């Protein structure tokens, strides 16, 4: 269970203080897929990074609390936080390729993961990746962006974290992979009783994958609504525009 109460996140990088997000409160409970929808540049990625204190402290200030079970992740000892990031909360970032060290082959990531080799192998097969041996020899710059994103998914799922967070999971992969991820998310939350949190602008994927959806605009997140309710009651202008665009291209 994750309980987020972020009063504000401010950015002070360029000298001026700028408020990026304000009054963001939500709770995630086990067995569900949650999605945060929003346009480019609304602060979706900032919000999910703030959850485990991944924002650069010199540039961003986060005020509030984030409770993961009984731990407040914003004040917890760094060793404990590291442990949670390793085993309990895992991210799959949008630009997955840059999350790997270019000087290390994937063997390093496979062998230094806390996961069982058998789990990695079967997840790689699931996500239609080449064999464990083949990928082990490769450096991150030798795989495509989509492949890096899938490998990042494999490494995250293999640990079996209680909370798995995806930033734009469908931006670099094709429909077959999106479809596989969707099925995996359902199994991972429903059968294995974990939590998945997605941030995306892909309405189609959000609609098919999520149990509950919230919309981020004007620095604040709406409350999470059931999937069907979310799409039937669009009271937000921006959201309306996005849904209309989606229908235009469909």
Partner 1 sequence: MTEKLIELKNIYYSAESDNLSLSKKDTTDILFDVSFSVDEKEVLGICGESGGGKSTLAKLIAGIFNPTKGEIVLNNKITPQKNKPREIQILFQNSSDLVNPYRKINTIINEALKLAGIKKEDIETEKKKLIETIDINPALLIRRGLGLSGGERQRIALARLLAVKPKVLILDEPFSAQDITSQINFVKLLKKINEDLGVTIICVSHDLKILRNLAQKIIILKEGRMVETGTIVEVFNNPQNPYTRFLLSAESLELSYDELQNRN
Of the ranges 16-24, 116-124, 196-204, 225-233, which one interacts with partner 1 (CB under 8 A)?
Answer: 196-204
Alpha carbon distance 235, 129 (integer Å): 42
Q: Which is nearer to partner 1, 77 or 249 (CB)?
A: 249
Smallest separation, CB 72 to partner 1 (Å): 33
Residues touching partner 1: how many (CB under 8 A)? 38
- Rounded to an integer, what is the distance from CA 171 to the centroid of its chain? 12
> Under a CB-based contact definition with an 8 Å cutoff, are residues 164 and 195 in contact?
yes
Residue among 3, 67, 146, 217 that touches partner 1 (CB under 8 A): 146
Q: Does 208 bind partner 1 (CB under 8 A)?
A: yes
Contact 92, 168 (CB under 8 A): no
Could you tell me the two tokens for 178?
Answer: 């999106």
Q: Is 77 in the site for partner 1 (CB under 8 A)?
A: no
Query: What contacts 88, CB < 8 A, 6 or more positions away?
Result: 68, 161, 162, 163
- Among 18, 87, 131, 245, indicate the residue that binds partner 1 (CB under 8 A): 245
Q: Would you say 195 or 242 has its CB closer to partner 1?
A: 242
Residues 155-194 touching partner 1, rule: CB under 8 A, are: 168, 171-180, 182-183
Rounded distance, CA 111 to CA 63, Å? 37
Of the candidates 179, 183, 175, 99, the one whose C-alpha atom is nearest the C-alpha of residue 143 is 99
Using CB under 8 A as the binding rule, whether residue 144 contacts partner 1 is answered as yes
Interface with partner 1 in residues 94-113 (CB under 8 A): 94
What b-and-e string marks burial along 127-160, b requiring 16 or more CB atoms within 10 Å of the CB? bebeebeebeeeebeebeeebbbbbbbbbbbbbb
Stretch that binds partner 1, among 33-41, 66-74, 110-118, 152-160 (CB under 8 A): 33-41
Query: What are 11's strand-pairing partners?
Result: 18, 60
Candidate list 147, 156, 159, 197; residue touching partner 1; CB under 8 A: 147
Return residues touching partner 1 (CB under 8 A): 39-41, 94, 128, 139, 142, 144-147, 168, 171-180, 182-183, 201-205, 208-209, 241-242, 245-246, 248-250
């Amino acid at each position: 269970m994750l309980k987020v109460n972020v009063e504000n996140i401010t950015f002070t990088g360029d000298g001026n203080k700028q408020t990026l997000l304000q009054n963001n409160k939500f709770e995630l409970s086990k067995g569900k897929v949650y999605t945060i929808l929003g346009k480019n540049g609304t602060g979706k990625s900032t919000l999910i990074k703030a959850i485990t204190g991944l924002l650069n402290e010199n540039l961003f200030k986060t005020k509030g609390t984030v409770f993961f079970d009984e731990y407040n992740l914003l004040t917890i000892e760094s060793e404990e936080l590291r442990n949670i990031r390793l085993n309990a909360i895992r991210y799959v970032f949008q630009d997955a390729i840059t999350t790997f060290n270019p000087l290390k082959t994937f063997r390093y990531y496979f062998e230094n993961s806390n996961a069982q080799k058998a789990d990695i192998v079967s997840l790689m097969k699931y996500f239609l990746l080449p064999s464990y041996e083949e990928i082990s020899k490769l450096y991150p710059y030798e795989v495509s962006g989509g492949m890096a994103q899938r490998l990042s998914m494999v490494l995250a799922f293999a640990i079996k974290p209680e909370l798995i967070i995806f930033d734009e999971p469908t931006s670099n992969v094709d429909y077959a992979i999106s479809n596989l991820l969707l099925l995996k998310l359902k199994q991972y939350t429903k059968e294995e009783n974990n939590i998945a949190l997605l941030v995306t602008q892909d309405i189609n994927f959000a609609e098919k994958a999520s149990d509950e959806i919230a919309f981020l605009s004007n620095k604040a997140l709406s409350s999470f609504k059931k999937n069907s309710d979310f799409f039937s009651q669009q009271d937000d202008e921006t959201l309306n525009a996005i849904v209309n665009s989606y229908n235009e291209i469909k």
